[in-house]
Structure 1
Amino acid sequence: MEIKFEIANIEDAEVLVEVRNLSFFSDYIKYGECPGYNISIESMTNTLLNTKIKSYKIFSDEKVVGNISVRENNDNTCYIGCLCVIPSYENRGIGQHAIRFVEKEFSNVTVWSLETPADKERNHYFYKKLGYNIVDEYMSGSVKVVLFEKKLLCK
């Protein structure tokens, strides 16, 4: 299984919406809301046009199976706004490859952050395995989320 990454552009908006809908449907059903689910093509296009956000298509065997997006801040920090893999491709190491890919692409970054629901223990295990730690917990809409951070040595 070959995994590769390609920067997304506005022509990819529709396929990224489809990937996110497949990936986040269960969260939408569970919580009644999910910021990654059912976003409009226009909203995705605006995200792809935002120069502070880099969004990547994740390919497995030439098929788009996921998405990872990174928002660059002006202080050597980045926020992972989305990491998703469609359910039929989960548990194949794709998410780990994606995190390692962006950490390498943005090698000047000293602090990475991301959010995930507080009750998603599987996500917690995944991020902790990659060196992320919970630093905060709060409500986002009606969902309790945790903020993960990974601090790297100064470069």
Structure 2
Amino acid sequence: MLILERAIKDDAQRLAEIQKASFDEESKHFNNNEIGGPSGYDSPSWQEEMMQNCEYFKVLLDGEIIGGVLILIESSEAHNLGRIFIDPNFQNQGLGMRVIEEIEGIYSGCNKWWLDTPSWSVKNHHFYTKCGYSKVGEEGGLYIFEKTI
């Protein structure tokens, strides 16, 4: 059973480990074997800070943390999907799409979502397009995607 719950300080280490594994795997395959991810992706203290500054959910599958999602509320009608990550061992099973659907249900009053992702991240581009997002621009090596509900 897939459940989203608010992340708490005790989850920070595990969430950092999963983020690191997820982003490193993606960059290894699509970014010329360069390992890395966005700011703070491998830092437990950054995870804790984000728990205070945005809507941070852990993704649980049968009680085990397998990922997370960060939402930045810009207005009542527009939200930024700041980050979504699933442990590589659980990817390609439709779980990311289910997380997106759950988040959209939690924030059902929001009619515009946007995100950015690296221009080299082909797997992410496919995933976001599959979830109903469209590429609307490029900025500093990032592709900007939006979804209107």
* Pairwise TM-score range, normalised by the shorter structure: 0.7 to 0.9
On the 8 A contact 2:24/2:36 being kept in 1, the answer is: no
Q: Which runs of 4+ in 1 moved over 6 A?
A: none
Match status 1:14 vs 2:17? no
Distance apart, 1:37 and its partner CA: 5.9
Unmatched runs of 5 consecutive residues or more in structure 1: none
Structure 2, unaligned runs of 5 or more? none
Match of residue 135 from structure 2? 134
Distance 1:15 1:32, change over 3 A: closer
* TM-score computed with the length of structure 1 as normaliser: 0.85
What's the secondary structure of 2:49's corresponding residue?
A: helix
Please state how far the C-alpha of 1:45 moved relative to its aligned partner: 1.0
Aligned position for 2:147:
150
What is the TM-score normalised by the length of structure 2?
Answer: 0.88
Shift of 1:117: 1.7
Over 3 Å counting, the alpha-carbon distance change for 1:130 and 1:38 in structure 2 is closer
> Compared with structure 1, are the counterparts of its residues 111 and 20 closer, same or farther at alpha carbon in structure 2 (3 Å cutoff)?
same
Query: What is the CA–CA distance in structure 2 between the aligned matches of 1:131 and 1:96, rounded to whole Å?
Result: 10
**Equivalence for 1:122:** 123
Q: How many residues align?
A: 145
Instruction: Give the 3-state SS of the residue equivalent to 2:71 in structure 1.
Output: strand
Contact 1:114 1:148 in 2 (8 A): yes
Is the 1:113–1:147 contact (alpha carbons within 8 Å) kept by the matching residues of 2? Answer: yes
**What is the alpha-carbon distance in structure 1 between the residues aligned to residue 125 and residue 37 of structure 2?**
17
CA distance in 1, matches of 2:13, 2:41: 11
Q: Aligned runs of 1:1-155 on 2, under 5 Å?
A: 2-27=1-26, 29=28, 30=31, 31=34, 33-35=36-38, 38-50=41-53, 53-139=54-140, 144-152=141-149
Q: Bigger shift: 102-111 or 24-33?
A: 24-33
Deviations 1:17-39 (A, max 9, x none): 11111111134553454215653
- AA partner of residue 109 (structure 1): C
Query: 1:32-91 CA deviation, whole Å, 9 max, x = no partner?
Result: 5421565322221111112xx111111122211111111111251100111111111001
